[in-house]
A and B are shown apart, each in its own frame.
Chain A
Amino acid sequence: MGKLLEGKIASVLGPREGVVVNLGTEDGVQQGDSFLLYRLGEEVIDPDSKVSLGRLEVILGRAVVKHVQPKLATLGPQIRKRILHPSEFLPPQVVEEPEDFDESIRIGDLARLRR
């Protein structure tokens, strides 16, 4: 059970261009690492037990480290692979496309390293 590495978005370059987070090589971030970008939303209540399950992490995007500096890292949208079956007579096709961030992403939103 490794310790979670969490930081904040320090700059937004754009939903397709990327974001900058306040974590860098001094925190152990490496080029190619994956991050989840999110914001804390409403509290979720278990419908059976009525106990709070905690605040929902509203996912704003999934990102990959493109460039890393000692105290910050630049993240770009993750490339998403989709398998398409256009016809039962053709072999499936793998399509790769960048997964844009949510347009509402802003400075102060949260970033968590996924390993």
Chain B
Amino acid sequence: MIRPFAMLVESAIEAAPPVLDGVLLSGPTLGPAPQAGALLTARGALGLPRRGRFESIGAFHRSRSMASPLVLVTGLQGSPQDYVGSIVYDEGVLFRVFSGYLGEQDQHHVRGIASFELEDGRAQGFVTVQGRLLNAFVLGGGLPEASSLWERIRRLQCADVALNRDEIRPLPDAWAVPLLPGYQRRSPVLLARMCGPATPGVQAHALAFPEHFSTLEVLDQQPSSGLVQLELAGPDAARPVVAWASERTERLALH
């Protein structure tokens, strides 16, 4: 089985001196480096996937917790900061994700490579935990094509954090991001950070716990910081705490 290349992007800077209009990405990686010129998909929580080309892999960059390779990717639209928090992987590889809420006692701050114990095997991927919100990602192998990651998972481990299925309250097939309060426009504007490239106009679901759903629209992504601004689609008394793109987004083509 060929393991796909995948990276959880922790930092992104414009290549200097400018090389082929490229960006240098750094973060934990899985699988072998692709061939130069191979197509990559960059995916975020609140937007359409974007496409780039792998150029080279270079010196190691020491991030917060580990040494990560620097990968030069060309052809990505937007600002380098848009890609912080994204997953970049070989085009064509199946991407599966779920989000979940953890118990009050299970607050962690973890981002990195994770191993997943599934009903019928094992898989590798990434996990991020911010406070009580968990996101789990698996690229490619380990799961049948039509199956959901949440349906198959039994246990996951990332760094020193190990969680069983029954410790997670799931949002199946969602990639949720925490929301911060922003400011009042026509209706409240909320902020999301480290969530990969966002697409203005995309509708997102939002959830104010315990069970209050509403709709948000992506307004814009700041090129200087990658902060994403979302506006509630109507007046709403409860402030949402997490958001994720609607299923419709997933069906739209690469752009």
In B196-245, which residues have CB < 8 Å from any A CB? 200, 219-220, 222-225, 227, 229
Cβ of A28 within 8 Å of any chain B Cβ, yes or no, is no
Residues of A within 8 A of B130 (CB): 48
A56 CA to B21 CA in the complex, in Å? 27
Residues of B within 8 A of A4 (CB): 79, 223
Q: Are B80 and A1 in contact (CB under 8 A)?
A: yes
Cβ of A86 within 8 Å of any chain B Cβ, yes or no, is no
Can you name 11 A-B pairs with beta carbons within 8 Å?
A1-B80, A41-B183, A44-B191, A46-B193, A53-B225, A54-B227, A57-B220, A59-B220, A62-B220, A112-B223, A114-B200
Residues of A within 8 A of B220 (CB): 36, 57, 59, 62, 114
Cβ of A94 within 8 Å of any chain B Cβ, yes or no, is no
Residues of A within 8 A of B251 (CB): none
A114 CA to B199 CA in the complex, in Å? 11
Cβ of B4 within 8 Å of any chain A Cβ, yes or no, is no
A17 CA to B50 CA in the complex, in Å? 35
Residues of A within 8 A of B80 (CB): 1
Query: How does the 8 Å CB contact mask read for A72-101 relative to B, with 1 for contact and 0 for none?
Result: 000000000000000000000000000000
A53 CA to B191 CA in the complex, in Å? 11
A48 CA to B22 CA in the complex, in Å? 30
Report the nearest B residue to A60, measured CB to CB.
Answer: B185
Report the nearest B residue to A54, measured CB to CB.
Answer: B225
A62 CA to B183 CA in the complex, in Å? 17
Cβ of A58 within 8 Å of any chain B Cβ, yes or no, is yes
Residues of B within 8 A of A53 (CB): 193, 225, 227
Q: How far is the CB of B196 from chain A (nearest CB, A)?
A: 15
Residues of B within 8 A of A109 (CB): none
Choose from B109, B185, B219, B225 the contact partner of A102 (Cβ within 8 Å). Answer: B185
Q: Are A1 and B78 in contact (CB under 8 A)?
A: yes
Residues of A within 8 A of B (CB): 1-2, 4, 36, 41, 44, 46-48, 53-54, 56-59, 62, 102, 112, 114
Q: Are B219 and A59 in contact (CB under 8 A)?
A: yes
A8 CA to B144 CA in the complex, in Å? 53
Q: How far is the CB of A4 from chain B (nearest CB, A)?
A: 6
A44 CA to B21 CA in the complex, in Å? 29
Report the nearest B residue to A57, measured CB to CB.
Answer: B222
Residues of A within 8 A of B78 (CB): 1
Residues of B within 8 A of A56 (CB): 182-183, 191, 222, 227
Q: How far is the CB of B97 from chain A (nearest CB, A)?
A: 20
Q: How far is the CB of A15 from chain B (nearest CB, A)?
A: 11
**Which 8 A-B pairs have CB atoms at the shortest separation, nearest pair first?**
A54-B225, A53-B225, A57-B222, A54-B224, A36-B220, A59-B219, A1-B14, A1-B21
A73 CA to B70 CA in the complex, in Å? 41
Q: How far is the CB of B255 from chain A (nearest CB, A)?
A: 12
A56 CA to B225 CA in the complex, in Å? 9
Residues of A within 8 A of B48 (CB): none
Residues of A within 8 A of B76 (CB): 1
